[in-house]
């Protein structure tokens, strides 16, 4: 179950937490049940609705079906690509890429809402995002992914550097699984964003959440035990 006294993206908090991005296509009523099971299986800080091929009406319907599932569990619900629609539909915020419009205008539009910005593997983009008031910066892709064709890659050292110089939380994304996430956690990622590791888990999304939570906890325990 999501724990309400812990961090959401944009807040600093204890250790690293899981951030779920939805599958690229979904049927809202059916997926609402999968989402509820996933969120009830363990600790999740945030859900991002990411439907790249859906029209605006379909995105609105998906928001209406899924937002309450997350928010009723005190899990932040963000919309991908559209700050305006995020505000209109009652989302907690938006995640924007480098091609997703004017970030400063989005910051104004969202007010106190959460703004996350993709920064690929770039220190420069991340500094710019931090300066304009992003609540988190997202780095990736760290590993090969079959969810999306990626043009940019990020190195683990970037997370370490970011954590040493900046307060703004860092989200790591791209091909992250329970088996490969330990170095990202130890390097200081505040959140791990995943699609396949949860929604394509062979034993179902609940097992995916449990597996990611266990891997994060093990990496943190290992890090704490280092002299
Ligand atoms: C948490 C998180 N990080 C990165 C992305 C990628 O955003 P973007 O570069 O805009 O690409 P699309 O998601 O729009 O294909 C993300 N969505 N979430
Ligand atoms: C949506 C997205 N953005 C990325 C980036 O690198 O910016 S990688 C990615 C897909 C993440 O899915 P999975 O966990 O299945 O690899
Ligand atoms: Mg985008």
Higher pLDDT pick, 11 / 132: 132
Nearest bound ligand to the CA of residue 142: 2
Residue 175 CA to ligand 1 centre (angstroms): 13
Radius of gyration of the chain (CA): 16
Distance from the alpha carbon of residue 117 to the mean position of ligand 2, in angstroms: 13
Q: Ligand 2 in contact with 195 (CB < 6 A)?
A: yes
Q: What percent of the chain has pLDDT over 70?
A: 94
Q: Is the CB of 208 under 6 A from ligand 2?
A: no
Asked if the 17-225 domain carries CATH number 3.20.20.70, the reply is: yes
**How much is the pTM?**
0.95
pLDDT at 183 over 50: yes
What pLDDT score does 223 carry? 77
Burial code (b: 16+ CB inside 10 Å, e: under 16) for 138-149 equals bbbbbbebebbe
Q: What is the pLDDT of residue 81?
A: 98
Taking residues 172-179, report their average pLDDT: 98
Q: Give the confidence band of 14 by pLDDT, cuts at 50, 70, 90.
A: low
Using pLDDT thresholds of 50, 70 and 90, give the confidence band for residue 227: low
CA–CA separation, 98 and 111 (whole Å) = 20
Residue ranges of domains in the chain:
17-225
| pLDDT above 90: residue 12 | no
- Answer with the residue of higher pLDDT: 3 or 91: 91
Instruction: Give me the pLDDT at residue 30, please.
Output: 98
Is 148 flagged in the annotation as binding? yes
Separation between Cα atoms, residue 1 and residue 17, nearest integer Å? 13
Report helix, strand or coil for 85. Answer: helix
Give the residue, by CA position, lying nearest to ligand 1 atom 10: 97
Work out the average pLDDT over 136-141: 98
Q: DSSP letter for 76, please.
A: E
Residues with CB under 6 A from ligand 1: 21, 48, 50, 52, 80-81, 95, 97, 100, 116, 118, 138, 140, 148, 171, 173, 193
Residue 135 annotated as part of some ligand binding site: no
Q: Is 177 annotated as a binding residue?
A: no
Q: What are phi and psi of 62, to 5 degrees?
A: -65, -40
Between residues 138 and 12, the one the model is more confident about: 138
From 45, 100, 138, mutation site for ligand 1 pocket: most ligand atoms within 8 A of C-beta: 138
Look at residues 39, 40, 41, 65 and name the one whose alpha carbon lies nearest to residue 51: 65
Q: Examine the pLDDT at 1 and tell me if it is beyond 60.
A: no
How far is ligand 2, taken at its centre, from the CA of residue 149, in Å? 9
Quick one: pLDDT band at residue 5, thresholds 50, 70, 90? very low
Mean pLDDT of the chain: 95
| Ligand 2 pocket test target in 38, 173, 196 with most atoms within 8 Å of CB | 173
pLDDT in tens, 82-102: 999 999 999 999 999 999 999
Q: Is 217 in the pocket of ligand 2 (CB under 6 A)?
A: no
ipTM score: 0.99
* Per-residue pLDDT reduced to its tens digit, 21-80: 999 999 999 999 999 999 999 999 999 999 999 999 999 999 999 999 999 999 999 999
């Amino acid at each position: 179950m999501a724990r309400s006294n812990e961090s959401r993206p944009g807040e600093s908090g204890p250790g690293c937490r899981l951030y779920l991005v939805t599958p690229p296509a979904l049927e809202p009523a059916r997926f609402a049940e999968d989402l509820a099971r996933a969120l009830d299986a363990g600790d999740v800080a945030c859900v991002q609705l990411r439907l790249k091929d859906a029209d605006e009406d379909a995105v609105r319907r998906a928001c209406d079906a899924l937002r309450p599932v997350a928010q009723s569990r005190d899990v932040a619900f963000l919309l991908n690509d559209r700050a305006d629609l995020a505000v209109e539909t009652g989302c907690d915020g938006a995640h924007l890429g480098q091609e997703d419009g004017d970030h400063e205008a989005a910051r104004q539009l969202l007010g106190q809402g959460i703004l996350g910005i993709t920064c690929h593997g770039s220190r420069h983009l991340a500094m710019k995002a931090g300066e304009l008031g992003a609540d988190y910066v997202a780095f990736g892709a760290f590993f090969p992914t079959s969810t999306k064709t990626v043009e940019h890659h990020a190195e683990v050292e970037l997370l370490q550097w970011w954590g040493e110089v900046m307060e703004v939380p860092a989200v790591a994304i791209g091909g992250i699984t329970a088996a490969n996430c330990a170095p990202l956690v130890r390097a200081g990622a505040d959140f791990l964003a995943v699609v396949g590791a949860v929604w394509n888990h062979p034993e179902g999304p609940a097992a995916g959440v449990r597996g990611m939570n266990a891997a994060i906890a093990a990496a943190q325990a290992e890090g704490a035990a280092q002299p």
